[in-house]
Amino acid sequence: MAARKRVYAGIFTAAIFILLELAALSMLHSSSTLQNIWINRASHNVMAAGWGAAGRVREYFTLRKQNDILAGRNFELFKELQHYKELERSMKAMAKLDSAGLPPRFNYIPAEITAMGTNTRHNYIIVDKGSDAGVRPGCAIVMPNGVAGMIYAVDKHYSYGLSLMNDRINVSARIGREGLVAPLRWDGRRTDHATLRDIPLHLEIPVGDTVWTSGISKVYPPDIPMGITEGVHMEDGAVRVVDVRLFVDFASLRYVILAENPDRDIIEELSR
């Protein structure tokens, strides 16, 4: 009972205080023109700040919606581009061999990154699509301008992937459209650089050549541009390595595409 009385007393005191404050402001408002101007200006500033904050909130949600729309358009354009690239590769193969089957067709699933690590040698990506959307372990995580990683584990609604910035990931890459094929791996130091290894000593590697996914893979779709060559150096006096600047900016990566090869199980079975 005593506690309840103290609460009521506190409420009564606060009400008296608010009434006195309102009365003081009313008297101040009517006491002089200068004070009236000052009060009006203060109230206008408060209202302007409120309107500005509301406007920034509206701009944020509008920008988010526009980004989602652009990501959807980029996804549709990527699917169409990959379709034409596969047709082009098939036509070239048939022209050379007179008989060639179509290359594996990939299924593409748009996704948004919900979490990502970038500060270790074993970085990861978590996306908001899982088995309910058709994602399986081994799906590639790609962009129109590069490879981001590979799906490792799948839940119903989310998937966990290994980033390209991970020691366990390498991608079969080709220098130029018809050039040398070599494994591409993260250089372990910079978020936007990788290396091509096992380069023969006698080959000339021009600077500025585009590096593409080779298509010699059951995981990654063919002919995705990944970066450009920046030079060649030697490691341990015997290993020739090509430095590659990646197109994908992992620091701002948000929307990705999951590429699932429906023929992967057949290819793995035939490869045993």
Whether 72 maps to a domain, the answer reads no
- Asked if 163 and 54 sit in the same domain, the reply is no
- Asked if 144 and 54 sit in the same domain, the reply is no
Buried b (16+ CB within 10 A) or exposed e, 33-45: eeeeeeeeeeeee
Residue-wise pLDDT for 176-191, tens only, equals 877 899 999 998 888 8
> Which range marks the domain in which residue 194 is found?
107-271
Q: What percent of the chain has pLDDT over 70?
A: 63
- What pTM does this model have? 0.65
- CATH number of the CATH domain containing 160: 2.40.10.340
Within 10 A of 131 (CB to CB), how many other CB atoms are there?
A: 14
Q: 């590979």: which residue's tokens? A: 150
Instruction: Report pLDDT for 84.
Output: 59
- Asked if 138 and 250 sit in the same domain, the reply is yes
Max distance between CA atoms of the chain, in angstroms, equals: 98
- Asked if 36 and 168 sit in the same domain, the reply is no
Among 32, 63, 94, residue at a domain's last position: 63
| Nearby residues of 154 by Cβ (< 8 Å), 6 or more positions away | 130, 131, 135, 136, 137, 160
Mean pLDDT value across the chain: 78
pLDDT surpasses 70 at 126: yes
Residue-wise pLDDT for 54-99, tens only, equals 556 566 556 666 777 766 667 767 766 666 566 555 555 444 434 3
Whether 77 maps to a domain, the answer reads no
- The mean per-residue pLDDT over the stretch 8-23 comes to 60
The larger pLDDT score, comparing residue 44 to residue 162, is at 162
* Whole-angstrom Cα Rg for the chain: 30
Whether 73 maps to a domain, the answer reads no
- Asked if 18 and 153 sit in the same domain, the reply is no
Whether 236 maps to a domain, the answer reads yes
Say how many domains are in the chain.
2
- Asked if 155 and 244 sit in the same domain, the reply is yes
